[in-house]
Structure 1
Amino acid sequence: MLRIVDELAGPGPLRVHAHAPADNDPGTALRVLLTADVLARVVEMRGRAVLIGWTGPKTEAAAAIRPPDAEGEPARIAQELGGPPGVQLTSGMYEGAGVACLQIGRAALPPLQGLDPLAVRLVLLSHPYEEPVSITAEEIAEAGHALARWRRAVAAWAEHPSKPIPADLKSTARTALDHRLDTSAVLRLLHALATADDVPEGAKFETVAHLDRVLGLELVREVGLV
């Protein structure tokens, strides 16, 4: 997918327009914005700048998502970002300008008030972005507990001497992200890594720190606090 984006979107910054639905569907709106955030992170890790524009309503849990560079109607966004989009993200059919379009599956979420935005982010990233999902408050609460466990483990691994990221893990993660923006595959890789006896703790830390640049879950937040 990213190869196609690079070939078709032209030189310079990649301009991304995320079209959050305005039909009282905050879960899907959040998922559209989150996918734009992840796409930007992956492209920037490859060394290319990204500019993001949002259309549609803001959503409460967007606190865990990279803020846009422009907001409003598509024409205004294109003007503020210096040109038309290279990629469109939408939960429905969109026939505006743009060389690539990602169709984002709908997401049914419980009321988000009082919930951890990063736990919501983790649950959504656990599913391929194109598949519809229905998520409960209990799943989000469990995701919050999982984040706490991850952060404790990462803080412990950080106490060990640094080791290189295993080449096969780095290649597998890059392939998953480049081909399908598959954060669910990256999360499965990290779960397997946690219990891998043949990977040094220092390499586990470096792997998680590297991949969290895409996941954006603040998994290294507790390093140095214990």
Structure 2
Amino acid sequence: MPGERNQAVTTIIDGRTRHAVALPSARDRLLRMSVHLPVINGEPGPVHARILVVADVLLRTLEADGHQLIWACEVPDPSPERVRTLQTFMTALGVHSPASFTSSSGEVLDILGGPADVCVFGDGRHDAEPGVWVGVGRVDGTGAHGQCPAAGEDLLAIRLGLLSRPYHRPVTLTSSDVVEADRTLLRWRERVAHWACSPSKPVPQEVGRAAADALAADLGTPAVLDLLLRAEVADGVPEGAKFETFASLDRILGLELIREIGRLPLREAGLFRPD
């Protein structure tokens, strides 16, 4: 968690050994990450969404720990049209853009300035790659379309649904799961906008420590989301502290929980119109 991670060492279950390993601590240079997407037939799908979300949360976690990081996205046939489609898809998912898209492992080395420290995959076909191997589980289910958004569709509900499960395990995401995630996002955004009107209070120390520990232990985003659920209804936590908790953790989760700040009073008055 931002401000609570100075002593935390992020560990990941290496996809090759199935053992927990500490991620490199390269304070004197940029950490290097490569993200490998499988073949895209038409639009990006649920597997691509999950790989990109996991890579993005890992990037945000390492940056919150004081690292600087550069990453490249390796994808078959990175034509200009495909790259534009992926960029639209990533923006809708709240994923930060890579330094470059490429189809060549050699180009990845050139882009990153050396071998990757961390490699994120959706399958086991790249076990010859150097660095820590982050293996992302498959996605099944009728709700896991994960495609470029239609008008009015919020792919951050897909992101929330994926973050609520351990990233390395296979997941089934149903339409009901996505609808429930979307309702949770709407509720949280409205409450964060309401809490933002209260005097600011610090994030409770025990919440900050628990969030930092969960993220450092193999990107435990389900535990972080559980902390938010408990903080939401905690009677003893001031609203200003609830706001700071949600805003701070959202820098890692990337769910745009502060989106409605400044809009809620207009909506209640019937004056706000979505873009």
TM-score, structure 1 normalization: 0.92
Cross-structure match for 2:272? none
Q: Does structure 2 conserve the Cα–Cα contact (< 8 Å) formed by 1:162 and 1:203? A: yes
Per-residue deviation, 1:27: 1.1
In terms of Rg, which structure is larger? 2
How far does residue 205 in structure 1 lie from its aligned partner after superposition?
0.5
User: Counterparts of 1:1-226 in structure 2 under 5 Å?
Assistant: 2=10, 4-7=22-25, 11-22=28-39, 26-56=45-75, 59=86, 61-63=89-91, 64=93, 65-72=95-102, 73-93=104-124, 94-108=126-140, 109-110=144-145, 112=147, 113-114=149-150, 115-225=153-263, 226=265
- Note if contact 2:146-2:155 (Cα within 8 Å) is conserved in structure 1: no
Shift of 1:139: 2.0
Q: Percent identity among equivalent residues?
A: 38
Question: CA offset at residue 134 of structure 1?
Answer: 1.7
Kept in 2: contact 1:105–1:131 (CA 8 A): yes
Query: Quick check: 1:110–1:137 contact (8 Å CA) kept in 2?
Result: no
Q: Determine if contact 2:100/2:111 at 8 Å carries over to the other structure.
A: yes
The amino acid that maps onto 1:66 is H
Which residue pairs with 2:268 in the alignment? none
> Residue 62 of structure 1 contacts residue 117 of structure 1 at CA under 8 Å; is this kept in 2?
no
Q: Distance in 2 between matches of 1:206 and 1:223?
A: 13
Name the one with the larger helix percent.
Answer: 1
Alpha carbons of structure 1 residues 160 and 36: separation in structure 2 relative to 1, 3 Å:
same
Paired with 2:105 and 2:63, the residues of 1 have a C-alpha distance of: 23
Amino acid at match of 2:189: R
Unaligned runs of 5+ in 1: none
Q: Distance in 2 between matches of 1:131 and 1:163?
A: 37
Matched residues in 1 for 2:146 and 2:231: separation? 33
Distance in 2 separating the partners of 1:50 and 1:111: 26
The answer to whether the Cα contact below 8 Å between 2:24 and 2:117 also exists between their aligned partners in 1 is no
